[in-house]
Amino acid sequence: MARGGEWVRRFLLAVTLVFLLSMPVLALTAQPVTAKNIDINGEKNIGVNSWEVLASFRALNNARLVAEMRVTGPPGTNYTMDFLLLDVENYNLYRNNQSFNVVPGSSLKTDHLTLNITLQSGMGYYLVADNTDQPSGGAYAHPSVQCSAVGIAKDCGALKESNPSNGLIMVAGIGVISAAMIILLLLIRRNPR
């Protein structure tokens, strides 16, 4: 049987090795969000009873959304649509045709919208152009509508959906760490000769 001092030394070595092995796994699964400006620039052709995400982003400290959306066609029409700013929770409700709430600044039944608003830090947002009969009180669905969006989400980061590969990396890392712990515990229990 190992003497008391030898056992403590082996235990501390095991804890140190487990810690060192776990650091790369944690580094691989961490996804830092870097503050930057997200450009909103494009034209979309939105079919009848359709909607499009114009931009998605995560607000960081002092984030602002400065953007202008406009229904641009087809020429000679007077179409309106709904421009919705939704947080992640309400976006998921919206896309599943459930009751949802919009962020103040959204506009229903309009041919243009100008936004210049401060965003809540840490929240994810979707900017949506809607050409459906929903929500209640909004614009009617029209035949194919074109809209343009120009703007910037200042001091924001990319809004990423959960990445399945991160889960695999985490499981693999936990497996490696567990195997290392078992081997180290066996070494600790082993009698020195």
Write out pLDDT tens, residues 35-66: 677 778 888 888 888 898 888 888 888 788 88
- 36-157: which CATH number, 1.10.10.10, 2.60.120.680, 3.100.10.20, 3.30.70.360? 2.60.120.680
pLDDT of 114-161, one tens digit each? 989 998 888 899 999 999 888 888 888 888 888 888 888 888 877 764
Per DSSP, the three-state class of 28 is: helix
156 sits in which H/E element: strand 145-157
pTM here is 0.65
Tell the residue number behind the tokens 């961490």, with chain if given. 30
Those residues with Cβ within 8 angstroms of residue 157's Cβ, 6 or more apart along the chain or in another chain: 33, 34, 35, 36, 57, 58, 60
Closest CA to 120 of 155, 83, 68: 155
Tell the residue number behind the tokens 């620039």, with chain if given. 41
Peptide bond into 32 cis (omega under 30): no
